Amino acid sequence: MYNYKALFDLTGRRALVVGAGSGIGQAAAYALAAHGARVFCGDVNAAGNAETLAGIGELGGQGEGLAIDIRDSASVAAALTATGPVDVLVSTPGINVRKPLLDISDDEFDRVVGLNLKGTFRLLKTYGQAMAERGRGSLITFASIRAQVVEPGQGVYAATKAGIVQMCRALAAELGPRGVRVNAIGPGIVETPLTQPIKSRPEWAAAYANKSAFGRWAQPHEVAGAVVFLASEAGAYVTGSLLMVDGGWTAIDGRFTPPL
């Protein structure tokens, strides 16, 4: 009989989590380490990386930090030299300029696309090639509910997240025959440093909470399980997918509960 107890066991696996210094990336690093992976924590934030590594140590896990800036091809190439081939790549970084589309400048457009979409591309290309050469691996990127639904001020951000999904689907088709899986995760509203400006405004925070079936925001650890699933043998036949972890946001129509 198949060893079902080992479905989520990552013992002996090597994982790179980019954006590990805070938020979802930090939770993903903790979760992978807790399931036995040796985790390379990549971030531009050295202090955040140090905090994550300390947490991995408290879990009894193995971790190592490295500086990586996905806006720079040389930095991504240097990261591969430092980590060597990995079994799992998790890419979480993202930025947003919340403005009406007609007010977005060329520089702001380039900044969001350059990090969110092109930065993700650099990671997928660099680590995807290394995985393809070995004949195995799991590439995990982060999209968003904004890959599917939008609101005013989210035009460029949403375009990058939808682009990440389509890029992953194409790469899944290209690398599937070489043993590499490629998937995206679409979180809803998660309490992280990136969303703190929204969380600090009660009416805005409540409106977002009410969009989920649970009437609340998510915590980073509630997204980390999806990372472990896609990294492990539990997700061995999953590729080209967008796994929504949004509390039902994209499934539910409106905030009003009609009388039934």
- Catalytic positions are 157
Whether the Cβ atoms of residue 45 and residue 52 lie closer than 8 Å to each other:
no
User: What are the E-state strand segments in the chain?
Assistant: 14-18, 38-43, 62-67, 88-91, 137-142, 180-187, 242-245
Distance CA 81, CA 133 (A): 15
Distances in Å between the alpha carbon of 216 and those of 95, 198, 199, 207, 246?
23, 13, 11, 10, 11
> Token digits for 45?
């934030």
CA separation, residue 74 to residues 39, 42, 69, 211 (Å): 21, 14, 9, 41
- Picking from 150, 149, 147, the residue whose alpha carbon sits closest to that of residue 162 is 147
| d(C-alpha 117, C-alpha 2), whole Å | 39
Q: What is the DSSP letter of 67?
A: E
Q: How far apart are the first and last CA of the chain?
A: 48
Element (H, E) at 68: none
